[in-house]
Amino acid sequence: MSDKNEVFTAAAQAIAGDYVRIYFVNGISGEFHQFAPDSSDKFFREILHGGDFFNYLANDAVKCVYESDRYIYTEIMQRDNIMRIVKSGTGHADIECRLITAGEPLYYTLRIMDCPGAQDCFVIGIMRTDKLINYRKRVSNIEKELETYNHIAEGLAEHFDYIFYIDIADGKYSRFKSENGHLTVDSFGENFFDYAERTINTLVHPDDRHHMQDIFSKAGIIGELRDKKKFTVEFRLLIGDEVRYYRHSGMWAKDRKHIIVYAENIASEVNVENELKEIRKKNKIFGLILESLAARYDVIYYISSVDCSYSGYTANHIYGNIEIEEEGTDFFSVAKKNADIIIHPEDRERVKAVFDKDYFITHLEGNRQLVLNYRHMIDGTVRYARFTAIWASDGRHFIIGVENTDDEVKKESERLRELSLANEMARRDELTGTKNKNAYQEYEDTV
């Protein structure tokens, strides 16, 4: 093929085969020729000749261009924009848009090309790129999914010391770890089960060794995963004299040909659990102490030294039928109000003077407790009582215990009466009842 025209014709046919339409346009006058492929000789034939290409584009946009992409024809594909492209030195530009084909929007690429041999003229070739663009989208979506999966994997990996990816058939494995937020391959190995056996025999605590050997054999792992999605085992490593707590979990990979095992240091969890056990133990002891105190006191109040809010806990109803609030916002105001109802008139002002927040704080600065004995007047009956106030362990609350002391006062009265009677009998003769020598001696001592 020596004739240049034949060469150019063949080249043009090969290039034009990629296009469904070709426009040859005079950028100044707007005159244009539209070509379409001819199925008979696989070359192009002219199907339209017009005088105003840009007006033709505007009309064609309404009929053929997908609505969301019409701005490409009406705004971007304007004379000045196109002439700027063809004279920019790059020689061409590609613009993607969707054209309506058989009622459906399909992707096409509009390629704008300069015509160096024809002044102020340019060529626009329209290629159908729907498959290519959809392929690109699929690739882009896959890349985004992979990026998302990587972010998830890297985020999860930060919580584990190591992750093993094991071929269950031959035992080959890769070990991954997280470094600076990225999942990296730490090492490879030929047989994970041999590696596990060596590690268990040398590093696992003797008390956990047999159990770990049973699980981390090939048969053991397959057995653990036979009826469940995941297995988890906690154990101890013994590094020198130091015990370290670990958890290993395993699961099938999606292909069911690989096992994923991840190792996690759980020292912080174990420490928290031990702390909780200690707290529960202390709470049990405190509960027993509180029960003992509650057995002594009939009412216990827990009062804020900041805002005077309070809660009350009653073991025995020492106030008869009188209703006493067991929860409120101002303990001292309520206490003074109740004093007018339940405190014996002779003790009332003394008790009300003590029920003052500043008095409590001042007294307890130099004393371990504040104690006050007084009398209740309940349903017309005098009853003896005592309240004891102390600081709570947080230094921000008062604790007041109120107890009925009727039995204590009665016993003390009986003791004093018996003592007085004994003294009187010591001063009189047992037979005559008259004063004896002791009585006269005491009288002389007082004169």
Range with the lowest mean pLDDT among 11-15, 152-156, 311-315? 11-15
Residues 291 and 42: their CA atoms lie apart, in Å, by 102
Mean pLDDT of the chain: 82
In this structure, the number of other CB atoms found within 10 A of the CB of residue 166 comes to 26
The amino acid at 68: S
pLDDT at 236: 92
The per-residue pLDDT for range 326-345, each reduced to its tens digit, is 788 999 999 999 999 889 99
Do 422 and 375 share a structural domain? no
Is residue 87 a part of any domain in this protein? yes
Residues 383 and 373: their CA atoms lie apart, in Å, by 11
SS3 (DSSP) at 196: helix
* Banded model confidence at residue 323, pLDDT cuts 50, 70, 90: very low
Do 441 and 383 share a structural domain? no
pLDDT at 7: 58
Do 418 and 397 share a structural domain? no
pLDDT at 267: 84
pLDDT at 151: 65
Residues 47 and 33: their CA atoms lie apart, in Å, by 8
pLDDT at 230: 92
Is residue 148 a part of any domain in this protein? no
Is residue 350 a part of any domain in this protein? yes
* Banded model confidence at residue 101, pLDDT cuts 50, 70, 90: confident
Is residue 417 a part of any domain in this protein? yes
Query: pLDDT above 90 covers what percent of the chain?
Result: 36
Residues 298 and 317: their CA atoms lie apart, in Å, by 7
Alpha helices in 158-266 (DSSP H): 192-203, 206-215, 218-224
Mean pLDDT, rounded, for 116-141: 83
Do 422 and 397 share a structural domain? no
C-alpha distance from residue 206 to each of 198, 239, 274, 299 (Å): 13, 12, 22, 55
Do 172 and 117 share a structural domain? no
Do 342 and 424 share a structural domain? no
Q: Which domain holds residue 18?
A: 4-128
Is residue 322 a part of any domain in this protein? yes
Residues 389 and 338: their CA atoms lie apart, in Å, by 18
Query: Would you say residue 80 has pLDDT above 70?
Result: yes
Is residue 288 a part of any domain in this protein? no
Do 244 and 302 share a structural domain? no
The per-residue pLDDT for range 253-267, each reduced to its tens digit, is 988 999 999 888 888
Do 303 and 261 share a structural domain? no
Q: How many CA atoms lie within 13 A of 122 on its CB side?
A: 28
Residue 178 vs residue 187, higher pLDDT: 187
Do 47 and 122 share a structural domain? yes
**For residue 336, what is the domain's CATH number?**
3.30.450
Do 398 and 334 share a structural domain? yes
Residues 32 and 26: their CA atoms lie apart, in Å, by 6
pLDDT at 325: 53
Do 195 and 100 share a structural domain? no
Q: Is 304 exposed, middle or buried (0-12, 13-18, 19+ CB in 10 A)?
A: middle
* Banded model confidence at residue 299, pLDDT cuts 50, 70, 90: confident
The per-residue pLDDT for range 3-56, each reduced to its tens digit, is 655 655 565 565 556 788 899 999 999 999 998 887 665 567 889 999 999 999
Residues 258 and 171: their CA atoms lie apart, in Å, by 9
Taking CA 174 as the corner, what is the angle to CA 170 and CA 175, rounded to the nearest 5 degrees?
135
Query: Would you say residue 189 has pLDDT above 70?
Result: yes
CB 316 within 8 A of CB 296: no
Mean pLDDT, rounded, for 224-244: 90
pLDDT at 187: 87
Q: Which one of 241-255, 397-411, 413-427 scores highest in mean pLDDT?
A: 241-255
Is residue 239 a part of any domain in this protein? yes
- Which of 265, 289, 306 lies at the terminal end of a domain, its last residue? 265
The per-residue pLDDT for range 348-360, each reduced to its tens digit, is 999 999 999 999 9
* Banded model confidence at residue 321, pLDDT cuts 50, 70, 90: very low
Ramachandran category for residue 266: left, alpha or beta (phi over 0 → left; psi -120 to 50 → alpha): alpha
What would the two tokens of residue 434 be?
């008259």
Ramachandran category for residue 395: left, alpha or beta (phi over 0 → left; psi -120 to 50 → alpha): left
pLDDT at 298: 80
* Banded model confidence at residue 410, pLDDT cuts 50, 70, 90: confident
How far is residue 218 CA from its own chain's centroid?
A: 36
Q: How many CA atoms lie within 13 A of 445 on its CB side?
A: 6
Is residue 361 a part of any domain in this protein? yes
Which of 66, 59, 73, 63 is closest to 110 using CA atoms? Answer: 73
CB 385 within 8 A of CB 404: yes
Tally of domains within the chain: 4
Do 122 and 16 share a structural domain? yes
* Banded model confidence at residue 372, pLDDT cuts 50, 70, 90: very high
CB 130 within 8 A of CB 107: yes
